[in-house]
Amino acid sequence: MADLNVITHDILIVGAGLAGTWAAMSAGENGVKDIGVLSKVHPLRSHSSAAQGGIAAALNNVRPVEGTGPRGPLEQIPPGDDPIDSPDLHMFDTIKGSDWLGDQGAIEIMVNEAPEIVYQYERMGCVFSRTPDGRIAQRRFGGHSVPRANYAADYTGHVLLHTIHEQAVRNGVKFYAEWYCLDLLVEDNVCRGVVALDITTGELYLIRAKAVFFGTGGYGRAWKITSNATANTGDGVAIAYNAGVPLMDMEFVQFHPTGVYGKGILMSEACRGEGGYLRNVNGDRFMENYAPDKMELAPRDLVSRSEQTEIEQGRGVGADGEGIYLDMTHLGAEKIMERLPQVRELALNFAGVDIIDAPAPIQPTAHYSMGGIPVNANGQVISDAEGTPVVGFYAAGECACISVHGANRLGTNSLLGASVFGRRSGKAMAAFVLSGAALQPVDEGAVKKNRQCISTLMDDSSINGKKESPAAIAEELKTAMTRYAGVFRDEERLTLACEKVQELTDRFKNARIMDKSRRFNTDLLGAIETEHLLTFSKVIVNSGLARTESRGAHYRTDYPKRDDEDWLKHTMAHKDSNGEPELSYKDVDIDWDRYPPQERKY
Amino acid sequence: MTRFFQVQRYTAILLVVFMALHMIVVHYPPGHIDFGRVIERLENPVWKAIDIAFLLTVLVHGLSGAWVVLVDIGKVNPFRKVLAVLIAIVGVAAFIYGTMTIIAFQLPT
Amino acid sequence: MFKTTGFISFVLRRFTGVVLVLYLLTHIWVLGAANQGVEAFNRRMELFQSPVTITLEVLLLAAVVYHGFDGIRLLIVHYFNVTDQRKSLFYAAFATAALLTIVGGVPMLLFAFGIG
Amino acid sequence: MTAQEQTIQARVHIQRYNPDVDRKPYLQTFDVPVPQGMTILDALAYIKAEIDGSVTFRRSCRHAICGSCAVNVNGKNMLACNTPLRTVLTKKNEVTIRPLSFQPIIKDLVVDRSAFWEQYLKVKPWLIPPENSGPKEYRVTPEEVKALNRAETCIMCGACYASCQVVAMNRQYIGPHALLKAFLRVLDPRDSAPAERLELVSGTDGVFRCHTIFNCIDACPKNLNPTEAIETLRKLTQRRLAFEKEREERQKTL
Ligand SMILES: Cc1cc2nc3c(=O)[nH]c(=O)nc-3n(C[C@H](O)[C@H](O)[C@H](O)COP(=O)(O)OP(=O)(O)OC[C@H]3O[C@@H](n4cnc5c(N)ncnc54)[C@H](O)[C@@H]3O)c2cc1C
Ligand code: HEM
Ligand code: SF4
Ligand code: F3S
Ligand code: FES
């Protein structure tokens, strides 16, 4: 083709969050020179920067002051004193958090590499908060039995991302900022490259590479109320699925209990940590009916479910009764100004409420997607339950399912997972490329196909005169997912969700965009992203419908118990020839001697 | 660049002093200024020295300032070296001429 | 952005600075008449003692004091960490300059129009 | 508990421009219902979804951490995502949204940030750690971290850069964002090339090009203070080598 733009790289990385940037860095350090990184937003805009709380690692820098209880003050551990934390403990907490669906081999690798990767971040320039003697400060975090979250105030992800990005630039990694990956080219289980769009010019490119890496982030945007950035539309997940790669455990999506009402923007866990109350419309602290001991400090999924129960029983607040009050007025202006200034700002800007004198309306918000592209501990994508690799295709971060988070991720473990497995993937890719991998022949028709899709979306002479707005379809999908595949699920709701997704998928065939220009067409991107949302939402609802148990974040009111007998296994979904998800299952990697499944009790 | 900035700031400090002095001594109280009035003061060689220093300071400050103003403009920026030379020439010329003037204030013999 | 004290002061400072440089060069040329002797000097000075030029000189005074006090403000900002007071500092500099212009300018005008 | 406030109607003027087809930028007006809590970004998203899908702007995180969405609202640069629309409405319930000032426009509210990023890279934003890196973390005191916090939260939104008239005059100027970054690295006790950095920022286009206009402070959505960072750097450039000596001493106890 005359108008075919081709770019080649040894390694092509899609996604410039922590996972993608680490992969690029470490591939470079391991001897590969020619690395390209594609990102649909500028690398520093990646969603990793939104992480607030911290990154987990058993550094043993601080401990609770003796005899002060679970919410008491922390102190640095004097040199020579006994450590309180260990990778093993971290491993156990993670497994327990995952409701035993996490693969223990991968978890072990992650917790063992954790301290080293945090130290490396520090040595590269991260400005972590410090203990009085200058070590990295740590704080408590939900589900971790000791203070293990290494943090930089409440912008940890921001600091990590900027640091690693700068170091990658320093190492000569080539970034393509504002390039959109449209398609992945896999044939005969061998990955050959991608089709990408230079957003600024609207030009299509065929990018060939010996190894392709996906670090495209999560898929929380399929819900109406979500803490995720607008970029988190699960593109990588959908693209891989369309290319014939299976998706794993897609039904597991974590809901955070305190998102700003109607928007989902995260109000930090610290609000409850500092003593905030949750109240329903009658002003009752309803948590006493669900977790009388821990009250507001019960684990995230439990609190989210309690809130949702109140809402569904008609005791919610707000215009549509879908909210709950987070009441911090009793803390007093002084404490709020000192400990939660950012939260106050947030509530002021986004809810129009000053938390000093009024409760803030909040609601559960889609927060983290545990499922994704199945990979092994070297980031190599696998194509079936036996672990057959897709040659030359790697993934890590939130778009991948390794699975270290199992059915429920612990806070601070995802920055860690993205970093550790991003780095490992980079190393594995370097080994793969240096072992003599070659560029594979590609079908140039792929570009044509994508160009066709785009012109269809832009076309105005639509079939049967019916035009659909992609934005409206996305909106309906999100509403349906929130209602039917949200905190609570059951057969009826999930069936409704399936039908809705199918209906919307059909309607999307007539979707037409308004912006017909080539240059920086975000309308077009929005439509493509909507298509991706539909693609993987179908997998989510089908996987969820099939899984007749409650485990971690997947809660079925019709099957409220965990069922290890039948369901201690990962869901794998392949796209079949009709475009429907075909489910199969994969065993969980469990060390039966060390960490056999137990009841998950807090 | 560092030096230009330095020079501007230090000369600015000096100018605060000189300017105040100049205003008070020369222009206050306001009135008719003629040779006679100037010579009253400039008979004293110390005043001469002060005025020469003032002249130097204000020239350096003003002209380096003018250079900055010009060079701030993106299109002019590439020619900053040439400009610096031109302005320096102006400065030196003005300084020599001004110094001659100051020296010229002498009681006619 | 264009209505901030910072920008306004910058424009004024720049403008007065340039005006002062131009004046300075003229000034040096004017005084240079002294080289040609007493008469030449006095003759040239006469040229500049009409009410009109003296009025202009008042403006010049305004420029000098404004530029000067604004410059002092910048020196203060440079040597002390007072950026939080940036607005008050500007108002202070401006007010002082205005005051001095009046204090110095009124007698000049009185003199110029022969009232003093 | 709080009274449900009424939705009001706003007229949002947006500057439109697609260089491929338009000869010059023009304003287009949209009527937007403004419920309580609607941000400028929400309004833009509403317009894009409901009225005109070709309205183009950047956004991602929605809560002032990614730095994508800075625009010029009623003549001031700010983030669209953390500014409630009601706070910027005029008495007639109008608001004018333009792209960041002084930047080449790619389309509508999207500007070409290449110069901005180039300047950012020019100051070598990465840490240059000391050679003798140990197995664990460097020891940095909480006080030293506190000093760095004044620069660390910069999200590279460019609101400062696009409010600085020096940038408007001269694109060679490094700019407040990048100088703030330089400040962060220079002051970091772990950085071992402060003298080199100070040399770099004292060049023709560095800290001395700043004329203390302060617009960068006014614009910064993260309440940072580039001017003070620039003044600090100016002072440090004067004792560059001494400062590096002190740094070497400090690094012995990292
Ligand atoms: C509000 C919030 C707070 C959080 N707090 C914490 C915390 O405290 N601790 C913790 O451990 N975790 C936290 N997380 C989770 C954590 O931030 C993410 O899981 C993690 O950052 C994901 O990193 P990533 O590299 O996989 O993806 P991302 O950082 O999301 O990056 C995705 C990248 O892929 C690119 N991309 C996507 N699609 C395409 C495409 N089609 N073409 C080209 N490029 C594409 C994007 O541009 C981006 O660069 C939080 C998450 C949220 C939402
Ligand atoms: C009390 C006396 C004065 C003080 C305190 C003073 C102070 C300053 C300062 C601090 C600057 C630097 C501005 C910047 O960096 O942006 C400056 C600039 C300048 N000054 Fe002065 N100045 C004084 C008198 C003068 C005089 C008498 C002249 C004219 C001959 C002059 C001409 C200039 C010019 C042309 C500039 C450059 C303008 C700019 O950069 O905006 N100054 N002055
Ligand atoms: S300093 Fe402030 S305004 Fe400037 S880029 Fe950083 S966050 Fe934005
Ligand atoms: S606005 Fe510009 S001139 Fe300096 S003080 Fe800020 S960088
Ligand atoms: S959308 Fe991220 S800063 Fe506004």
Report domain extents, chain C: 5-112
pLDDT over threshold 50, residue A476: yes
Report whether pLDDT(D121) > 70: yes
Which residue from C14, C42, C74 is facing B69, i.e. has the nearest CB?
C14
Bridging pattern class, strands A203-214 and A5-14: parallel
Kindly state the average pLDDT of the residues A191-202. Answer: 96
Average pLDDT over residues B82-91: 95
Backbone angles phi, psi at A502, to 5 degrees: -60, -45
The residue count of chain C comes to: 116
| Identity of the amino acid at A444 | E
How many angstroms separate the Cα of D160 from the Cα of each of A182, A443, D114, D176, D227? 34, 47, 15, 7, 10
Best mutation site among D57, D58, D68, D83 for ligand 5 pocket (most ligand atoms within 8 Å of CB): D68
Model confidence at A278, pLDDT cuts 50, 70, 90, reads very high
Look up the CATH number of domain C5-112.
1.20.1300.10
User: Considering the entire predicted model, what is its pTM?
Assistant: 0.94
Chain B residues in contact with D172 (beta carbon < 8 A): 74, 77
A191 beta partners = A186
Q: Is the pLDDT of residue A268 over 90?
A: no
Strand duo A174-177 + A35-39: pairing: parallel
Q: May I ask the CATH architecture of the domain D8-111? A: Roll (3.10)
**Cβ of D158 less than 6 Å from ligand 5:** no
Which tokens hold the place of D206? 């560095």
Residues of chain A in contact with residue D54, where contact means CB-CB under 8 angstroms, are 514-517, 523
- Report how far apart the first and last C-alpha atoms of chain A are (Å, whole number): 61
**Cα(A200)–Cα(A194) distance, integer angstroms:** 18
**Active site includes A300?**
yes
Instruction: Say if the Cβ atoms of B97 and C28 lie within 8 Å.
Output: yes
B2-104 CATH, one of 3.40.50.300, 1.10.150.130, 1.20.1300.10, 3.40.630.30 = 1.20.1300.10
Is C6 in contact with D218 (Cβ distance < 8 A)?
yes
Interatomic CA distance for residues A520 and A199, integer angstroms: 5
pLDDT digits (tens, 9 = 90+) for A376-386: 999 999 999 99
Chain C residue with Cα closest to B87: C21
Test site for ligand 4: of D165, D227, D231, D234, most ligand atoms within 8 A of the Cβ: D227
* Confidence check: pLDDT of A602 > 80: no
Instruction: Tell me the pLDDT of chain A averaged across its residues.
Output: 92
Mean pLDDT, range A342-367, rounded to an integer: 89
Residue C115 confidence (pLDDT): 67
Give first-to-last CA distance, chain D, whole Å. Answer: 53
Band (D2; pLDDT cuts 50, 70, 90): very low
Predicted local distance difference test score (pLDDT) of residue C35: 80
Q: pLDDT at residue B28 above 70?
A: no
Tokens of D135: 């197995």
Cα–Cα distance for residue pair A174/A33, rounded to 1 Å? 10
| Strand blocks (E) in chain D | 8-16, 26-34, 70-73, 76-79, 94-98, 105-107, 110-111
pLDDT at D129 over 50: yes
Q: Ligand 5 within 6 A of D105 CB?
A: no
- Neighbouring chains of B at 3+ CB pairs under 8 Å are C, D
pLDDT at A2: 47
CB of B1 within 8 Å of a chain D CB? The answer is: yes
Q: Do chains D and B touch (3 or more CB pairs under 8 A)?
A: yes
Residues with CB under 6 A from ligand 1: A 14-20, 38-41, 43, 46-48, 50-55, 156-157, 180-181, 215-218, 227-228, 231-232, 235-236, 266, 367-368, 397-399, 411-415, 418
CA-to-CA dists, residue A13 to A179, A368, C65, angstroms: 12, 22, 61
Q: Would the pLDDT of A1 be above 50?
A: no
Chains B and A are touching, with contact defined as 3 or more CB–CB pairs separated by less than 8 Å: no
For residue A381, which of A194, A568, A186, A531 has the smallest C-alpha distance?
Answer: A186
Q: What is the pLDDT of residue A443?
A: 85
User: Given CB atoms, is D119 within the 8 Å cutoff of chain C?
Assistant: no
ω before D125 within 30° of 0 (cis)? Answer: no
Report the alpha-carbon angle C62-C67-C73, nearest 5: 130
Higher pLDDT, A15 or A332: A15
B43 Cα to chain D: minimum distance (Å):
41
Domain boundaries, chain B: 2-104
Q: What is the pLDDT of residues D34-89, one digit of tens each?
A: 988 899 999 999 999 999 999 999 999 999 999 999 999 999 999 999 999 999 99
pLDDT above 90: residue A556: yes
Of C33 and A449, more confident: A449
Residue-level pLDDT, tens digit, chain C, 116 residues: 888 999 999 999 999 999 999 999 998 988 888 788 888 888 888 877 788 888 888 999 999 999 999 999 999 999 998 999 999 999 999 999 999 999 888 888 887 777 65
Compute the distance between CA of residue A252 and CA of residue A531 in angstroms, rounded to an integer.
21
SS3 content of chain C, % helix, strand, coil (to 5): 85, 0, 15
Name the band, by pLDDT with cuts 50, 70 and 90, for residue A465. low
Query: Atom of ligand 1 at shortest distance to CA of A55?
Result: 11
Task: Record the tokens describing residue C67, joined without a space.
Answer: 């530029």
Please state the ipTM of this predicted complex: 0.93
Centre of ligand 3 to C-alpha A131, Å, is 28
Q: Which residues pair with A42 in a beta bridge?
A: none
Residue A597 has pLDDT above 80, yes or no: yes
Q: In what order do the strands lie in the sheet with A253-260?
A: A253-260, A360-369, A324-327, A277-279
Number of neighbouring beta carbons within 10 Å of residue D93: 16
State the average pLDDT over residues D228-248.
94
DSSP class of B78: G
Helices (H), A259-299: 270-273
Place of tokens 């929005």: A526
Q: Which chains touch C (3 or more CB pairs under 8 A)?
A: B, D
A401: β partners: A374
pLDDT of residue A400 exceeding 50, the answer is yes
Q: Residue B30: is its pLDDT beyond 80?
A: no
Helices (H), D33-174: 40-46, 114-122, 142-152, 165-169
| B35 touches D: beta carbon within 8 Å | no
Residue A71 buriedness (CB in 10 A; 0-12 / 13-18 / 19+): exposed
Domain ranges of chain D: 8-111, 114-251
CATH class of the D114-251 domain in this structure: mainly alpha
CB atoms within 10 A of CB A436: 7
Taking a C-beta distance cutoff of 8 angstroms, is the pair A63, A137 a contact? no
Query: Is the separation of the CB atoms in D59 and A231 below 8 Å?
Result: no
Do D126 and A230 make contact, defined as CB atoms within 8 angstroms?
A: no
CB contact under 8 A, A45 and D60: yes
CB distance D215 to ligand 4 below 6 Å: yes
Q: What is the mean pLDDT of chain C?
A: 89
Q: At what angle are helices A18-29 and A156-170 packed, to 10 degrees?
A: 30
Beta bridge partners of A400: A373
| CA Rg value for chain D | 21
Separation of alpha carbons A552 and A559, rounded Å = 13
Query: How far apart are alpha carbons A218 and A215 in whole angstroms?
Result: 9
Provide the H-helix boundaries in A401-469: 413-434, 445-458
Cβ distance of C78 and D165 shorter than 8 Å:
no
